[in-house]
């Protein structure tokens, strides 16, 4: 099925470890983004990309890196995980256009101990 695929779904990290959350979409969407969801705070934008080779910071970018080498993939990297990064992460994609319909991945539950 077409859509946004995120991996892994669950991950436990130790403080200081690094990891990459993968996100891929097969809908040829220009726009991709990463959000984190924390209780009482809704979803907050971490980083986004408007096309291959272009990325920019969102509301809470510190501690995260992204790259967009292809249209399909938008990985999110935690270089040195901290307990404050324990959260649920959602990748999303959409076409820049009139519909503005956003497709979300199923989420990645990350715990940093």
Partner 1 sequence: AQSVSQHNHHVILSEAASLELGCNYSYGGTVNLFWYVQYPGQHLQLLLKYFSGDPLVKGIKGFEAEFIKSKFSFNLRKPSVQWSDTAEYFCAVIITSSGSARQLTFGSGTQLTVLP
Residue numbers of the site for partner 1 (CB under 8 A)?
Answer: 31, 33, 35, 40-45, 48, 50, 56, 58, 90, 92, 96, 98-102, 104-107
Q: How far apart are CA 2 and CA 20, in angstroms?
A: 22
Nearer to partner 1, 14 or 40 (CB): 40
Phi-psi region of 40 (alpha: psi -120 to 50; beta: other; left: phi over 0): left
* Distance set, CA 1 to CA 25, 42, 69 (Å): 10, 28, 23
Nearer to partner 1, 6 or 85 (CB): 6
Min dist CB 46 to partner 1, Å, is 11
Nearer to partner 1, 32 or 78 (CB): 32
């Amino acid at each position: 099925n077409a859509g946004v695929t995120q991996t892994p779904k669950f991950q436990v990290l130790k403080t200081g470890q690094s990891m990459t959350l993968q996100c891929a979409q097969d809908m040829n969407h220009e726009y991709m983004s990463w959000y984190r969801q924390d209780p009482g705070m809704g979803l907050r934008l971490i980083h986004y990309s408007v096309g291959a080779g272009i990325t920019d910071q969102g509301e809470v970018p510190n501690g995260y890196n992204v790259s967009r080498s292809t249209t399909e993939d938008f990985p999110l990297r935690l270089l040195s995980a901290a307990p404050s990064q324990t959260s649920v992460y959602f990748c999303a994609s959409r076409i820049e256009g009139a519909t503005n319909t956003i497709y979300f991945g199923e989420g990645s539950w990350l715990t940093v101990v």
